[in-house]
Structure 1
Amino acid sequence: MKTRKDPIMNRLHSALLAAGVVLAGLSAPAFAQGEAAPSAAEAGISPAPIEGAAPGSAPESAKGAEAAVGGASEHGGEHATPHYPLKKPAYVDWSFAGPFGHWDLGQLQRGLKVYKEVCSTCHSMNLVSFRNLEALGYSEDQVRALAAEYQITDPAPNAQGESFQRPGIPSDRLPSPYPNPEAAAAALGGAHPPDLSLIAKARAVERGFPNFVFDIFTQYAEAGPDYIHALLTGYGEPVPENVTVQPGTYYNPHFISGPALAMPAPLSEGAVSYDDGAPTTVEQYSRDVTAFLMWTAEPHLVERKATGFVVMIFLIGFAIMLYLVKNRVWASTPH
């Protein structure tokens, strides 16, 4: 059966086609004689900021970012946007990985020491209290002594209405080395260091298809620790000729937001001494502090995995029981 078209819609469709032809004819002569199209600067359009530019870098860092891929992209373009990180992190064998993962308390204690002596000079950890460190194997007295090493600004003023500092107590949170983010940025050349409390869950490199499908079965959740470990150990590589590193930044191909970042290499050989005889290398420091940051981001990781394993066993047993009951109930009923 034929359908009757709406004459109003037909006329509207014809009018739109005619308007498109007229506009195309008006705009085509502008470049018909070989004229070059006006650039964004000539047209008065300011370029949009590049996502992931290195902290504190100048707008010219966009040129270095484009050059970071050798002037070519997966589509064959000459000035295509690069994909960061330039090098994806390698997979590290963590003790807390997998459905039966567990915390290595010795490693976590070493990671806390690396954080105290290296990372805490710039980065805060505002969501971790001193009393939480008892989960790392420290006694209550040890935690109390550790908290007393810090001077904490009491949130409540004294009788004269003035703020004052006092030794820390277990209920206090690990203090920031700067009074506020603005002071931190001013002291570090305009780059505000992020808080490290949840950094292991907040930073990760996408694995893409089909890896994220396999992760459902392998319980892979270590993308954040793998990235942090790669970033901490990725300094010192030679800068390629086609990469421009802005002054005040440091080349690191594992950085997720650009070819360089404002943080210099924080770890060096022998910077932190270990009491348990562990190697004092950058690789060991990186593994220890990364494991500690994963614990601060998800301290109940091991308990969650243990609970999930018990739940899965229960669901499998419950499904088998339902199947057997169904067969028993309907055994005498003809199908």
Structure 2
Amino acid sequence: MCSFQFFFVWCNNKQQLLFSVFIANMSFASLPRSKKVALTTLGVVAAGGAGLALMLHQSVKASELELHPPHYPWSHAGPLSSLDHASVRRGYQVYKQVCAACHSMEYLAFRNLVGVSHTEAEIKAIAEEFEVVDGPDESGEMFTRPGKLSDYFPKPYPNAEAARAANNGALPPDLSYIVNARHGGEDYVFSLLTGYCDPPAGVSVREGLYYNPYFPGQAIAMAPPIYNEVLEFDDGTPATMSQVAKDVCTFLRWAAEPEHDQRKRMGLKLLLGSAILFPLIYYMKRHRWTVLKSRKIAYRPPK
């Protein structure tokens, strides 16, 4: 037995109107036989279609043979956790010395690092290490100059065709928003960087490709980019493979979401403000406004 009742109520301080749009007391047992058969058939078809769609979805996932990355306990993953800025600094060093040879970060400027991982003087010195093509000058010629804070990170290749030609036809993706562009975020990037291994028995990888179970298709054109002691961190942190991968993933998370810490800080302020504001609003509504709202004003003309 099921009962459905729908009401639309509209009230203001002058009048109250009650509109009953649809009132229906409906029981499945009281329906005619033809309607019972139609509803039963519709339910069976809907359930069968949902089951078939689920089975097809699972079969497609199984045929892809894609290994999903595990979830790692990142220090910034909590609702009130901030980024590890020392790790961001080390991650930029990994990008500069390892990743920048092939991957660009065209949406990130040197000035974005000021106050996050480096001081202004440090970033000025880093930017001046690069030669930037600028111009034209007064004679209409292009010229090179040392980089400055307003410049974006230099690209390793002048265009996409040159990048493909240098990497056997593969185009290295831009890393500015890579953790947001890949399912799994930094979990995927960490697993990809540390997941290189020999292919299992019966699996052959074409020459020039490398086996990585976390990459879609398992055959990736990028050679293993990191290994133990691939570089030396300026702060003396041991550069193990997992440490290097963790730091560069933290840097890439910051690059994709520079407002990460500010967003969580504003969220905490909103929660604290709501804890004070909501009880006050409830008190005003329950004990002040309802008295005025329910007050009846009657006009009695003089006799």
TM over 0.5: yes
- Cα–Cα, structure 1 residues 161 and 293, in superposed 2: closer, same or farther, change >3 Å? same
For residues 60-86 of structure 1, the C-alpha deviation after alignment (integer angstroms, 9 at most, x for no partner) is xxxxxxxxxxxxx955x9xx97235x3
More displaced, 297-306 or 271-280? Answer: 271-280
- Answer yes or no: is the 8 Å Cα contact 1:229–1:287 preserved in 2: yes
- Answer yes or no: is the 8 Å Cα contact 1:96–1:302 preserved in 2: no
| Matched residue, 2:264 | 305
> Partner of 2:132: helix, strand, or coil?
strand
| Matched residue, 1:324 | 283
For residues 308 and 176 of structure 1, the distance between their equivalents in structure 2, rounded to whole angstroms, comes to 36
- Answer yes or no: is the 8 Å Cα contact 1:243–1:259 preserved in 2: no
| Matched residue, 2:301 | none
Which of 188, 192, 210 in structure 2 is aligned with 1:250? 210
Deviation at 1:318, TM superposition (A): 3.0
For residues 128-166 of structure 1, the C-alpha deviation after alignment (integer angstroms, 9 at most, x for no partner) is 111111132422221111001111111x22233232221
| Residues 1:92 and 2:53 are matched in the alignment | no
For residues 192 and 162 of structure 1, the distance between their equivalents in structure 2, rounded to whole angstroms, comes to 31
| Matched residue, 1:209 | none
| Matched residue, 1:48 | none
For residues 177 and 106 of structure 1, the distance between their equivalents in structure 2, rounded to whole angstroms, comes to 26
| Runs of 5+ unmatched residues, structure 2 | 1-56, 296-303
* Structure with the larger strand share: 2
1:123-202 maps to which residues of 2 (within 5 A)? 123-154=103-134, 156-202=135-181
| Runs of 5+ unmatched residues, structure 1 | 1-72, 205-222
| Residues 1:281 and 2:260 are matched in the alignment | no
For 1:318, the aligned partner's letter is L
> Partner of 1:135: helix, strand, or coil?
coil
Which fold has the larger relative contact order, with Cα–Cα distance below 8 Å and residues 6 or more apart in sequence?
A: 1
For residues 146 and 224 of structure 1, the distance between their equivalents in structure 2, rounded to whole angstroms, comes to 28
- Answer yes or no: is the 8 Å Cα contact 1:123–1:176 preserved in 2: yes
- Answer yes or no: is the 8 Å Cα contact 1:269–1:282 preserved in 2: yes
For residues 326 and 159 of structure 1, the distance between their equivalents in structure 2, rounded to whole angstroms, comes to 70
Question: TM (normalized to structure 1)?
Answer: 0.66
Deviation at 1:199, TM superposition (A): 0.8
Structure with greater Cα Rg? 2
For residues 140-194 of structure 1, the C-alpha deviation after alignment (integer angstroms, 9 at most, x for no partner) is 221111001111111x222332322211111101101111111111111111111
- Answer yes or no: is the 8 Å Cα contact 1:91–1:226 preserved in 2: yes
For 2:181, the aligned partner's letter is A
1:1-335 maps to which residues of 2 (within 5 A)? 75=59, 82-83=63-64, 86-154=66-134, 156-204=135-183, 223-236=184-197, 238-255=198-215, 257-329=216-288, 330=290
For residues 15-70 of structure 1, the C-alpha deviation after alignment (integer angstroms, 9 at most, x for no partner) is xxxxxxxxxxxxxxxxxxxxxxxxxxxxxxxxxxxxxxxxxxxxxxxxxxxxxxxx
For residues 318 and 117 of structure 1, the distance between their equivalents in structure 2, rounded to whole angstroms, comes to 50
For residues 265 and 127 of structure 2, the distance between their equivalents in structure 1, rounded to whole angstroms, comes to 31
For residues 63 and 144 of structure 2, the distance between their equivalents in structure 1, rounded to whole angstroms, comes to 48
For residues 242 and 317 of structure 1, the distance between their equivalents in structure 2, rounded to whole angstroms, comes to 64
For residues 147 and 283 of structure 1, the distance between their equivalents in structure 2, rounded to whole angstroms, comes to 28
Residue identity over aligned pairs, in percent, reads 41
For residues 248 and 201 of structure 1, the distance between their equivalents in structure 2, rounded to whole angstroms, comes to 28
TM-align CA RMSD:
2.2
- Answer yes or no: is the 8 Å Cα contact 2:88–2:117 preserved in 1: no
Deviation at 1:316, TM superposition (A): 4.3
| Matched residue, 1:49 | none
More displaced, 292-301 or 98-107? Answer: 98-107
Number of residue pairs the alignment of both structures matches: 237
